[in-house]
Structure formats: structure tokens, C-alpha cells
Structure 1
Amino acid sequence: MADKVSGATEQFDFEKQKRKDEMKQQVITFALMIIFTLVAFAMVIAELDRLFVIPVLLVLAAIQVGFQIYYFMHMSHKGHELPSLMFYGGVFAAFLTILALVVLVWW
């Protein structure tokens, strides 16, 4: 009987620590996204060169999208392999479509 209680307590403590770590990751990710947003606003307000600002904004936006998908949509969890595969397959197809249109326009 004592083993069952001990095992249940250990499982509870493990789950509690796991949730705590996940919440910590989400708070850090949220803070990074706020910082990236403030950096983007600061670059635009500072009226830096457009050839510098636009690529940096696109990179910051891509990083934020990655954070949103990976952490806030829980794509990093077990059991989300098929939705992840479908999502990344769709992103790849969209990338190929945009690439093909860019090549057609410039050719």
C-alpha cells in the first residue's frame, strides 16, 4: 500500500515539475516575442534604412511565428506528429508556390 502512495506522489511531483517547466518556457517565449516586437517598432520609429529594416522585420516575424507554433500551439508535445507533418508540409508547399511565382515573374 505504501508503494502505491509513494508512486502516486512521485508521479504527481513529476507532472507538477513538467507543467512548471512548460509554463517557464512559455513565459520566456512570450517575453522574447514582446522584445522582438519592441525592437521592430524601434527600428521603424528610428527610420533606419529600408534595405536593413525590411529583412530584419521579416526574420523577427518568422521567429515569432515559429515560437507561436512550437510553444503556444503545443506542436512540441507527443501526439502532435501528424498535425506537425501536415502543417510543415503545407508550409513547404506554400514556399514552393511562392518560389515558383517569383521565378516566373523575374524570368
Structure 2
Amino acid sequence: MTDKVSETSQQFDYEKQKRKEEMKQQVITFALMIVFTLISFAMVLAELDRLFVIPVILVLAAIQVGFQLYYFMHMSHKGHELPALMFYGGVFAAFLTILALVVLVWW
């Protein structure tokens, strides 16, 4: 009986530590996304060259999308492989469609 209680206690401690680590990662990611947003606003307010600002903002936005999917939508957890595959397949199909349209317009 004592072994069962000890095992349950160890499992509880493990789950608690795991959730604590996940929450820490989410808070750090949230802070980074706020910093990226502030950097974007600062670049626009500083009236930097558009050829510099637009690509940087797009890269920061792409990083934020990755953070949102990986940390806040829990795509990194087990059991989310199929939704992740469907999502990334859709992104790839959208990329190919946009690439094809750009080539057709500029050809």
C-alpha cells in the first residue's frame, strides 16, 4: 500500500514540475512576443526605410506565429502530430499557390 501512495506522490510531483516548466516557457514566449511587437512599432515610429522595416516586421510576425503554434496551441505535445501535419501541409500548399501566382504575374 505504501508503494502505491509513494508512486502516486512521485507521479504528482513529476506532473507538477512538468506544468511549472511549461508555464515558465509560455511566460518567456509571451514576453518575447511583446518585445517583438514593441520593436515593430518602434521601427515604424522611427520612420526607418520601408525596404528595411517591412521584411523585418514580416520575419518578426512569422516568429510570433511559430511561438503561438508551438507554445500556446500546444503543437509540441504528443498526440498533436496529425493536426500539426495538416496545418503544415496547408501552409505548404498556400506557399506553393502564392509562388505560382507570383510567377504567373511576373512572367
- Give TM-score scaled by structure 2 length: 0.99
Per the alignment, residue 65 of structure 1 pairs with: 65
Per the alignment, residue 16 of structure 1 pairs with: 16
Indicate yes or no: 2:72 matched with 1:78.
Answer: no
Secondary structure (helix, strand or coil) at the match of 2:28 reads: helix
Q: What is the aligned-residue RMSD (CA, Å)?
A: 0.4
Letter in structure 2 aligned against 1:106? W
CA distance in 1, matches of 2:18, 2:72: 16
Indicate yes or no: 2:77 matched with 1:87.
Answer: no
Deviation at 1:30, TM superposition (A): 0.2
CA distance in 2, matches of 1:103, 1:50: 24
CA distance in 2, matches of 1:104, 1:54: 24
- Give TM-score scaled by structure 1 length: 0.99
Deviation at 1:57, TM superposition (A): 0.3
Could you report, residue by residue, the CA deviation over 1:1-42 in whole angstroms, capped at 9, with x for unpaired residues? 110011000000000000000000000000000000000000
Alignment: residue pair count: 107
Could you list the runs of 5+ residues in structure 1 that have no partner in the other structure?
none
CA distance in 2, matches of 1:105, 1:25: 43
CA distance in 1, matches of 2:84, 2:28: 22
Q: Which runs of 4+ in 1 moved over 4 A?
A: none
Per the alignment, residue 98 of structure 1 pairs with: 98
Secondary structure (helix, strand or coil) at the match of 1:48 reads: coil
Percent identity, aligned pairs only, is: 87
Secondary structure (helix, strand or coil) at the match of 1:100 reads: helix
Secondary structure (helix, strand or coil) at the match of 2:31 reads: helix
Secondary structure (helix, strand or coil) at the match of 2:78 reads: coil
Could you report, residue by residue, the CA deviation over 1:34-88 in whole angstroms, capped at 9, with x for unpaired residues? 0000000000000000000000000000000010111101100000000000000
